Amino acid sequence: MRIRNKQKVPRLLEQADAWIYATENGKLPIDRTRFQRVCLEVGCGKGNFISTLGERNSDTFYLGIDKFVEIIARAASKSAIKEVDNVKIARLDVQAIETLLDPQSIATIYLNFSDPWPRRRNGIRRLTHPNFLSLYAKLLQSDGFVEMKTDNADLFAFSVTSFNRSGWTIVERDDDLTAKVPEGQEHLAKYIKTEYEMRFRSQGVAIHYLKAFPPKPV
């Protein structure tokens, strides 16, 4: 993601401080007495997706992570503007999340328009590489799943293969996800658009989507 207006970051961080997570005793504090479900967005972008989910699903807690402070500032600011109190943003690399969240504690993991890392030697960095799928499987509840959206056909094909070879079950797949939201399904994540998705759709680019469940523990 291209990061503009970096000079605004300190002000945004101050304004949205209540929406930014810090660890406590090596864990991310989540009030599980209040929320029925906890969901994780890996790479939260500018925050439109996760803040909109928070607005439409008040019984669920949403955690967005990204490793760039500039992105964190904008995502947290979006939630602050909307005044959603069930969304938090944390500056984290996905590889560190396993130590900060309990096993089998996440209901859904969202991968929206992740970096495609197009060069072959960088395939291990793709967020749907088997190494990452193994991490997600540890974090997900017994009925938990991953939802993915991307404009990149090569990344999507790679991801489908990666899920299948890693023993996951793809229960939904769409190579041209409709922009029209079915009545009564406005709260579903697959129909909530990120900033990238809005731009790609305006250019007529097809959006690829899948939903997958991890293999059951033996």
State the catalytic residues.
115
The residue type at 169? T
3-state secondary structure of 83: coil
DSSP state of 20: B
Q: CB of 149 within 8 A of CB of 128? A: no
Which strand ranges, in their side-by-side order, compose the sheet holding 106-112?
Answer: 87-91, 60-66, 37-42, 106-112, 140-150, 208-213, 169-174
Judge whether 40 and 139 are in contact, CB under 8 Å.
yes
Number of separate helices (H) and strands (E) present in the chain: 7, 7
- Please, are residues 109 and 37 in contact by the beta-carbon 8 Å criterion? no
